[in-house]
Amino acid sequence: MDGNGRWAERKGLPRLEGHRRGARSVDVVVTACRELNIPHLTLYAFSSENWGRPKDEVDGLMELLSIYLRKEKKKLLDNGIRLNPIGEIERLPDWVNGLLEEVIEDSAHNNDMVLNIALSYSGREELARAARLICRAVSRGDLEPEEIDFNALNDNLYTSGQPDPDLLIRTGGEQRVSNFLLWQLAYTELYFTKTLWPDFRKKELFRALDVFESRDRRFGLVGTQVRND
Ligand code: FPP
């Protein structure tokens, strides 16, 4: 969800205004994805590196997240959406974590859509954490080193049990993945748009989905093996 800061700067507004308007795009996109019956949506809201931003901005983002959780909780619950934060959420302030825990618990039985929100997230740290969990299982004697395979890694990620993403959308014009879902993106289609996140609304989402539909996905095979035409 890149480009909030630039959106604000171009309008001569404080950066936080861009994040505020970006939170509205979050609501629009979550609602649209639910209407489209998209079963999993992951939003990159705050990276581990983002802790290094000026304190005012970090505090403002925590405040916006808590406003979003309070405001949208009922909508998430009414629409069968399960909230699943991914990342080192223990690093978030206690008052944000308290709210998160409340929504996680209340939405735990929803299964129409999983909304992963990446918070204090780093793809590299997620992989290091998976390695730690696997090592512990080996030292307990629950796993043999020879059994460490693709599935063992998958099972120890924050996204365990979920399919890999089909599509990654990055707004704001940069063409990089910035430490996001490094393992899970192996065969994900990448879509980059110059549209800044606060301007990313339904029309932009549909455009990205149209482009995705036109992609030829082969997963390392040849076309005739993956197409049934
Ligand atoms: C990147 O834009 C965006 C962020 C670091 C924060 C994203 C946060 C929100 C969309 C609002 C709150 C989130 C939720 C889930 C309610 P940037 O600041 O790096 O933009 P720039 O590249 O233009 O400076």
The structure tokens listed for 154 are 């998958």
- Ligand 1 and 103: CB distance under 6 A: no
* pLDDT tens for each residue of the chain, 229 residues long: 999 999 999 999 999 999 999 999 999 999 999 999 999 999 999 999 999 999 999 999 999 999 999 999 999 999 999 999 999 999 999 999 999 999 999 999 999 999 999 999 999 999 999 999 999 999 999 999 999 999 999 999 999 999 999 999 999 999 999 999 999 999 999 999 999 999 999 999 999 999 999 999 999 999 888 876 5
- Nearest residue (CA) to ligand 1, atom 3: 2
229 C-alpha to center of ligand 1: Å? 42
Do 199 and 8 meet the contact criterion of CB atoms below 8 Å apart?
A: no
pTM: 0.95
Report the run of H or E that residue 213 belongs to, with start and end.
helix 202-214
Predicted local confidence at residue 229, as pLDDT: 58
Atom of ligand 1 nearest to the CA of 45: 7
Do 40 and 162 meet the contact criterion of CB atoms below 8 Å apart?
A: yes
- Nearest residue (CA) to ligand 1, atom 10: 22
Query: Among 19, 56, 67, which is best to mutate for testing ligand 1, by the most ligand atoms less than 8 A from CB?
Result: 19
Predicted local confidence at residue 228, as pLDDT: 65
To 10 degrees, the CA torsion angle through 169, 172, 175, 180? Answer: -50
- Ligand 1 and 65: CB distance under 6 A: yes
- Largest interatomic CA distance in the chain: 59
Domains of the chain: 4-122+166-228 (3.40.1180.10), 123-162 (no CATH)
SS3 136: helix
SS3 133: helix
What is the set of active-site residues? 2, 50
- Ligand 1 and 45: CB distance under 6 A: yes
